[in-house]
Amino acid sequence: MKKTFILLACLAINIIVFAQHLELKTQPQIWLRADKAGNSNNTWKDISGNNLHAFTTANQLLPDTTLFNFNRAFQMDSLSKPFNISYKSKATENLTVLTVYRAISPQEELGIWRIKLDNTKDASLTTKIMKSVSTKLKYTDSTFTKAIINTSMQKWKDMHIDTLNSFITLGGTDSLNYKGKLAEFLLFRNVLKGKELQKVHTYLALKYGITLFQSDYVNSIDSIIWNYQQNINYSKKIAGIGKDTLLSINQKQSSANGGEDILTIGATTIAKTNIQNQYPINQGDFLIWSSNGAELTKKGIDTTPDLISNIPYKKWLMNVKGNTANTIPTQMILDVSKFDSVGRCVLLINRDANENFPSFSTEIYQSDSTDTNHKVYFSNINWDTDNSGKDIFTFLLGNKLTLLATSADQPPLSNNPVNYSAKLDVMTGTPPFIFNLTPDSLPNNITTWSSSDSLQYLYNLSPGVYTAKVTDIKGAKDTKKFKILQNKSMNLENSISHSGSNITFTENKYSVYPNPANRDFTIEIQLINKSNIRLKYRDSQGRLITEKTLSGSNYYFLNESIKQPGNYFIEIATNEETKIVKLIIN
């Protein structure tokens, strides 16, 4: 009898897998998801509908569970035995086998799965060797302990099968146990390729925070939601949140490296598990971020006034897809526990995707808090506010003197209401500080003052470009430019107020400016109490153009745009009142 065998292995620290009823031509013959394992004590339920469940050996209890990028996975140890699946192989097979796992022992060879055909023939995968019925391939000398999506494609023809002794073991082989996380296992009775394989890869990559290797991310309608060639310089540590029900994707929070990267981003507030995050991401919306692979603690030094100084080499690209993805409020957590001399930490976002971070176009966000585990929190961050599809961001760790200059026309450095013209914020340095402020239109009109406070509020500045300088007592210095778009006069006694005073207001304030506008305009809302807001844009006939809802703050700053000239009405509704502002677009 003629026998042929072809083995294709695609093993990477970054690739693969799939979902319940995926938008594919072929559905899996076996589909085991730890997050859909069922309630049995010894059975891992097959959700493919073929009832090829996985059973623990000798009715042993299921392994303990753990989290794999906020999703449930099994945690197997030296006492865990492999699962058995009553799968009867055919004499001729075309198989695609996908497994998501993370081993914990780099020294040992660990068994992943084994497909037994009879007493002498089998195919198997370990953390070092891929084996077919006639071929053995050693693909690495050591066990990877990173999160892995593994794809093995096997094909044989006219093979003798002992149907009484044919089955699959998972989480081990005949001689090797497995130790580590085990999350999903899929077996297809055909060779997946092209867009079909890319869809499966996208599902698993986003779910488990695993970076695909030189591959696009594709949704259920064959559209590319993350393009490798376009983002080749930012193709490391890819993770994302989003929803595509046809691919079983509903990831609310994520972190690269299988959930263990230094950066975690989630919709609204990050919960303990993905399923506990109740924010309703809309169908087709995705936020996918990736880094350039550099180190966050290594910094370039640029004293050019137009660029923010001491920007770290490590940067991230946020790729935004979907009609309402830019309305998703996100929380970010940066783990700085492994860094020395971090100091303060701020988030920098450049909406033009300019990795040089010019002062004028970079938004600066102060952290909300830092917990005892040295994790820094940022809340209510929205992406792609200019509808360009991309933002570049990084974190400025305050271990070098850096002057940040923020006008009140930009997002604030903190959650406090903005009632100043500009704010100067000195990262580290040794007080007292000497500040200089010069209007570029009047270079001889220099204001100088000294203060021990690193945070300075500036009031009653006229529109224009200003140059601010700071020098600390040790001679460290920095210079930055900022622009005032309109006068933020508060009728205060002094034009310059040093940090430390508490500023309050007694009524809610709603501003839309400039008005009239040439397409682009700003909505600024200051509320006495925190409240959700609902915005509705209507044309002169009262017809609804668009609407959005934001939550969790008493200050909102939105850069908006309407392309078509005309008269419009903006309805701003809080929990307590509704205001309508007329806007003219020239």
pLDDT tens for 487-511 read 443 333 333 443 333 334 457 778 8
For residue 498, list its beta bridge partners. 456
Higher-confidence residue of 284 and 516: namely 284
Per-residue pLDDT averaged across 334-356, rounded?
90
| Predicted local confidence at residue 495, as pLDDT | 38
As given in the structure block, the two tokens for residue 368 are 């909300």
pTM for the model: 0.80
DSSP H or E run through 409: none
| Predicted local confidence at residue 164, as pLDDT | 86
Backbone CA torsion sign across 446, 448, 453, 459: negative
Beta-carbon-side half-sphere exposure of residue 196 (alpha carbons within 13 Å):
11
In terms of phi and psi (left: phi > 0; alpha: psi -120 to 50; beta: otherwise), the region of 495 is alpha
| Predicted local confidence at residue 504, as pLDDT | 40
pLDDT band at 379 (very low <50, low <70, confident <90, very high): very high
Residue 295: exposure state from Cβ atoms within 10 A (0-12, 13-18, ≥19): exposed
pLDDT digits (tens, 9 = 90+) for 548-585: 888 777 777 777 889 889 988 898 988 888 888 888 88
As given in the structure block, the two tokens for residue 94 are 């075309």
Phi (first) and psi of residue 31, to 5 degrees: -145, 110
6: pLDDT strictly greater than 50: no
What strands lie across the sheet with 129-131, from one edge to the other? 43-44, 54-56, 83-85, 167-170, 111-116, 122-126, 129-131, 136-138
Calpha distance 96→159 (Å, rounded): 17
Per-residue pLDDT averaged across 165-187, rounded?
95
Per-residue pLDDT averaged across 205-221, rounded?
97
Calpha distance 169→97 (Å, rounded): 13
| Predicted local confidence at residue 543, as pLDDT | 85
Q: Across all residues in the chain, what is the average pLDDT?
A: 88
Backbone CA torsion sign across 484, 489, 490, 496: positive
pLDDT band at 17 (very low <50, low <70, confident <90, very high): very low
CB under 8 Å to 280, separation ≥6 — which residues? none
What does DSSP assign to residue 408?
T
Residue 442: exposure state from Cβ atoms within 10 A (0-12, 13-18, ≥19): exposed
Calpha distance 551→531 (Å, rounded): 6
pLDDT band at 321 (very low <50, low <70, confident <90, very high): very high
| Predicted local confidence at residue 496, as pLDDT | 40
pLDDT band at 486 (very low <50, low <70, confident <90, very high): low
| Predicted local confidence at residue 529, as pLDDT | 81
Determine what percent of the chain is predicted with pLDDT higher than 70: 91
